[in-house]
Every structure is written in C-alpha cells, then in structure tokens.
Amino acid sequence: MQRKIRRAVITAAGLGTRFLPATKNLPKEMLPIVDTPIIHYLVAECVEAGIEDIIIVIRPGNEAVMNYFTPNKQLEKSLVEAGKEKQLKNYLEVVNEANFIFVHQRPDLPYGNGSPILTVKSLVKDEPFVLCWGDDLLLNPGGEGGVKQVVDFFVSHPDAYGVMGTTEVNKEEMVRYGMVELVSGGHEGRIKKIIEKPKPSEITSNLAEFGRMVLTPEIFKYLVATNTGKDGELWLMDSIEQLLTKKPVYAKKIQGEFLTTGDPLRFLIASFKYALQRPDLATDLKSFLRKEICP
C-alpha cells in the first residue's frame, strides 16, 4: 500500500444551526478566530504536512469557502496599495501551496458525518488520505500541526489501515466525543474499540477522537450508503469500528491543545486562546479580562 499521502478531505457541509442566524449564509467553518477563518487553520496544517490536493466538501448554495480560497487579483492589488502586504502574504502562503477541489455533498446520501467522505470516494481513489473535521482546531505554538502528526505516524506504521488523532479529555467532556480504547492501554497504539458519545458507565478510556485522521480506501468497504446506524444516520465512526476488527487502526495522541468550535461557548473559548497567543493583542486582552472578571 502506498504510504505517501497527497490528498486531504475537509468537511464543511454542515448547517451550523447552533450559530444561527450568523450561519444562514456563512458556513461555520468560515467564522473567524480573531481575524482568520477556522478552515484557514486546517488548510495551513495540510500545507505544512505536504498535502498537494485539498478536497473541501461544501453544501449546495453556500459557496463562501470556495470564494475564500479562490484568489482575487483585484483585491490583492487593493491590499498592496493599502499597505496590507503582511495580511496578503499570510493568506497567499497557504492558498498558493495546494490545489483546491470543491465538491457539493451528495443530496441522495443519508444524513450523517460519513456522507461527506462517501461523496468524494471517486476523488480519493486508491490512495490513503487525510480527513479533517471542519470545526476542530489545534493550538500548538511552535509545534507541528495535527495533520503532520497523524501523517508521520501513518508513514512510520506500515501495517496501519488508518490513524486517528486523539486527545485526553476530562470526565465531564467524555460523553460529547467518540472515546477510543487501545488494545494495550496507554496513549498510542492499536485501537480496540470506539464508543461514540458513551454513557458514563461505558467509558473505559480518557482518549477522545480528534478531528485529524488518516484513512485508507479500505474504509469504503464499510462506508456505504446502506450502512446506517443510530437515528438512521451514516456515522463514520461505525465504519471505522468495523474496519478495525479486520485491520490495524492506530491512535496517535496529538501534541497540542484540542479546541472545538462546534458551539458558541467553545468557539469563544478558542477565540480567546488564539488571541492570547498574539503579541499585538495579548496584553490589552488580559487587561480587559482582569477588569471584567475581577472589577
């Protein structure tokens, strides 16, 4: 099996109902963390990992993501004239380093997080590929992005048919995620089972599935439109659970801080954490927070 990974899939086809009305005409993946859209950070991770083709699955009628990653020469000229070269450079360093393919999610597929991946089956072809959930971020100043971490782990494990990034979460958060149990315990190694949003009595590990993973074409033996699960949805985790009973799938503990932006509170927390890493914002923001929290 080829170990080099050239393609990544980023899901951006959700309705973002928790952020309405802001997401009526704007995908939640385009909401800004300070001054940069969430999805820009994911694409930057893919570029860092040497990904050549980035496939972004969007919903029909909402092409904001496609417009963002399509260069606009007139806008670039205006930014240079306005002295905004730094902002333009940060944007082009990501956009110019990969090929972008935008695909509308197939409307005939069942509802569920497996449908965006099944939509692009013919594009990933017979090669391993990266998958990123469009609303998960990794804050790891000075360190490697999550995509590079799972890609390097996959390359170093020739028997792997998949690698799932994981992160430790506290007990109160475990019921929100897919929890991963390893064959030999610990924090990295072959996965024994995955329990999606477990009941407290079902929890056997503090490792949660992180929105960075490598999958191989083997997943499509199980990820089919008729293989629906809970509530009639097409769940990717169900297919991975079926795959790992036949082939080795590994967990890689991601170095850095996992931040989800899936709801307004966690989006705000991520925004503050990113802002506090910015030398141009941190001092004033800390001062403001001290005054608000401890008046």
If one counts every other C-beta atom within 10 angstroms of the C-beta of residue 141, the result is 8
Q: Is the separation of the CB atoms in 197 and 169 below 8 Å?
A: no
CATH C-level class of 7-164+209-293: alpha beta
Rounded to the nearest angstrom, the gap between the alpha carbon of residue 135 and the centroid of all alpha carbons in its chain is 6
pLDDT in tens, 3-49: 789 999 999 988 788 988 988 888 899 999 998 999 999 999 999 99
Percent of the chain with pLDDT over 70: 94
Query: If pLDDT is split at 50, 70 and 90, which confidence band does 295 have?
Result: low
pLDDT in tens, 105-163: 998 998 888 999 999 999 998 899 999 998 899 999 989 999 999 999 999 999 999 99
User: The tokens 């056997």 sit on which residue?
Assistant: 204
This prediction's pTM: 0.91
For residue 57, pLDDT over 70 is answered with: yes
- Distance, in Å, from the CA atom of 223 to the CA atom of 203, rounded to the nearest integer, reads 25
* Cα-based angle 121, 46, 244 (whole degrees, multiple of 5): 50
pLDDT in tens, 201-218: 676 778 888 889 999 999
Smallest CA-to-CA distance from 117 within 1, 238, 16, 198 is with 238
Q: What is the pLDDT of residue 174?
A: 65
For residue 1, pLDDT over 60 is answered with: no
The least confident of 46-50, 75-79, 165-169, 275-279 is 75-79
